[in-house]
Amino acid sequence: MDKNTEELLVGLAQAIKQASSPSGVTKTISGTPDTQLLFGPNGLFSNFGLDDTVINAHISPKGIGDLLPAFGTTITNPVYPFITGFESDGVDEPEGVCDDAPSGEMETCHQVAAFGRFTRSTKEMEVNELMQVLNGSLTTNLRLLGSLLGDGHQLMPQQGMDQNQVLRNVVMMNLVVVGIEFQRLLARKLWTGTPANNTAGGGYKEFPGLDMLIATGKIDAFTGVACPALDPDVKDFDYSDVDGTDKSIVTYLTMMEAYLRHVASRTGMDPVDWVIVMRPDLWRELTAVWPCQYLTDRCGESSSGNAVAVINDNVNVNMRDQMRNGMYLVIGGRQYPVMLDDGINEETPTDTDELAPGEYASDIYFVPVRAKSMPVLYWEYLDYSPALQQAGAFPGFDATSRFWATDGGRYLWSTQNLNWCFKIQGKMEPRVILRTPQLAGRLQNVKYSPLQHLRSWDENSEYFKKGGNSEYTTPPTYYSEWSALQ
């Protein structure tokens, strides 16, 4: 038995144990199951004559969230110290040979981080419905073609996420749905998270996302004093076209790269590994224009003011295709890896008057992921494992019958049940840490006009597509003397 299958069965056994245990009753639920079934009455696959291959047409998120390492912690309020600079004490140079000399002082700044708190639950299930099959003629040996989770996410649940089991096991189907909900939530909040959206009672919290971390206005955590030495390089493209001449995208990103490399070099943080992150639609428009602008940067006119002729041979096309296929951008003669992330916020004409129909705007990020071989951008999650160990040490208290943790302590699970009905609740408390904001950059409000916008995984987007049914009405299969009584 492979490790993934073993973990899957352990997790399922834990869920069933929790649901069937009297000690697991923590809150009354409705007692009216509302889960989707697979092969039972009204089931998703309870129609006769189905082919055994189920093809996935669901779009999953993709982005930098899966690239970042994740570390468990029990520290709720970390404080990160920085040395921001040195300055003279302002004393005049000595007049006499025995006069005191000027001195100097060092200044420091401190930054903090905050956890988010996200919860999701399964639908309510009745244990004796889980294995029901409407008729022996149904196709139950289904297999999935495609991926429901895509590249996944560094923090989303792994245990219980067997995609093939989603077609065979109702509990696993529910857990995969929970995993997809967490995946979508994390994809958005990595960028747009803000504690301003926290609920008053603390049941829902957002961590500060990268839009807040890669922004100017850093202040000391203890005094509130400004710390501009920690500010990232933030520039505004002011809704100019990515392929326009009003502002040059090459000039802006080249200057940002030079500025950040200067800071890294002069602070002794080299080598730094940067990743350029943007939305997929913007990437295609940017790479379409980049070779031409890059290869003719500052070559628009000769020194005498006469126009310089540019021969557009296959060099531009080859450079464009190589960058797209290799997923990199050439800046300053260096190749920077590019990550496409559709969790980045995108503006449309309904958001701002700066855009006309068919136009969109979003930001391009210069993100440091490592400096001097140390991760400087990473996930942290509240590790629930020690809590369960402490609870389990109390005599007579069986913590595992009430709660259980998975994925190295990333997730805490519990069940609510009423006799034979139950639902599973999952909780996580993550945050994203950027230890070197001064090495990050962000070019805001870059406008682009693709011929066709790509499909979206976000159900709030106008480019989100689904369809079909969430259940299928099952007609009576047989006449009987008791059917008329029902």
Summarize pLDDT for 319-349 with one digit per residue, the tens: 999 999 999 999 999 999 999 999 999 999 9
**What is the pLDDT, as a whole number, of residue 352?**
96
Yes or no: say if 73 and 383 are a contact pair by the CB < 8 Å rule: yes
Pick from 271, 254, 251, 230: nearest CA to 438: 230
Interior CA angle at 10 toward 8 and 12, to 5°? Answer: 70
What domain count does the chain have? Answer: 2
Indicate the burial class of 223 (C-beta count within 10 angstroms; 0-12, 13-18, 19 or more). exposed
The 3-state DSSP composition of the chain as helix, strand, coil percent (nearest 5) reads: 25, 25, 50
In a domain, 143, yes or no: yes
What is the rounded CA–CA span in Å between residue 358 and residue 8?
46
- Report whether 422 contacts 19 (CB < 8 A): yes
Q: Is residue 299 part of a domain?
A: yes
Do 77 and 221 meet the contact criterion of CB atoms below 8 Å apart? no
Residues of the chain with pLDDT below 50 are 1-2, 4-5, 7-9, 12, 15-26, 302-303
Q: What is the pLDDT of residues 351-370, one digit of tens each?
A: 999 999 999 999 999 999 99
Residue 103 lies in a domain: no
The structure tokens listed for 275 are: 């990743």
Q: Indicate whether 339 and 426 sit together in one domain.
A: no
Per the listing, tokens 């922004």 go with 215
In a domain, 62, yes or no: yes
pLDDT of residue 19: 44
The reply to whether 121 and 40 lie within a common domain is: yes
Residue 176's domain spans which residues?
Answer: 3-71+115-209+379-431
The answer to whether residue 85 is domain-embedded is: no
Please indicate, yes or no, whether residues 172 and 316 belong to a single structural domain of this protein.
Answer: no
User: By C-alpha distance, which of 150, 163, 145 is closest to 66?
Assistant: 150
Cβ-based neighbours of 337, under 8 Å, separated by 6 or more:
275, 276, 327, 328
Q: Is residue 476 part of a domain?
A: no
Return the pLDDT at 308. 58
Is the Cβ–Cβ distance between 35 and 170 less than 8 Å? yes
Pair 154, 52 in one domain: yes
- Whether residue 371 contacts residue 386, with contact meaning beta carbons closer than 8 Å, is answered with no
Same domain, 299 and 252: yes
Mean pLDDT of the chain: 87
**Backbone angles phi and psi of 307, in degrees to 5:** -65, 140
This prediction's pTM: 0.86
> Which pLDDT belongs to residue 438?
98
Clarify whether residues 198 and 61 are in a common domain.
yes
Would you give the DSSP letter of residue 226?
A: B
385 with 437, same domain?
Answer: no
Residues 427, 440, single domain; the answer is: no
In a domain, 249, yes or no: yes
What pLDDT does residue 475 have? Answer: 63
Residues 6 or more apart whose CB falls under 8 angstroms from that of 388 comprise: 399, 400, 403, 404, 405
pLDDT attached to residue 69: 94
Asked whether residue 122 falls in the same domain as residue 152, the answer is yes
CB-based contacts of 393: which residues, under 8 Å, 6+ apart? Answer: none
* Paired residues of 106 in beta bridges: 86
Are 154 and 280 in the same domain? no
d(CA 245, CA 12): 59
- Residues 6+ positions from 372 with CB-CB distance below 8 Å: 269, 270, 271
What is the Cα–Cα distance from 6 to 12, expressed in whole angstroms?
A: 10
Partnered with residue 417 across adjacent β-strands are: 422
In a domain, 267, yes or no: yes
Q: Which two three-digit tokens encode residue 428? A: 């996580």
Residues 40 and 155 both lie in one domain: yes
In a shared domain, residues 417 and 438: no
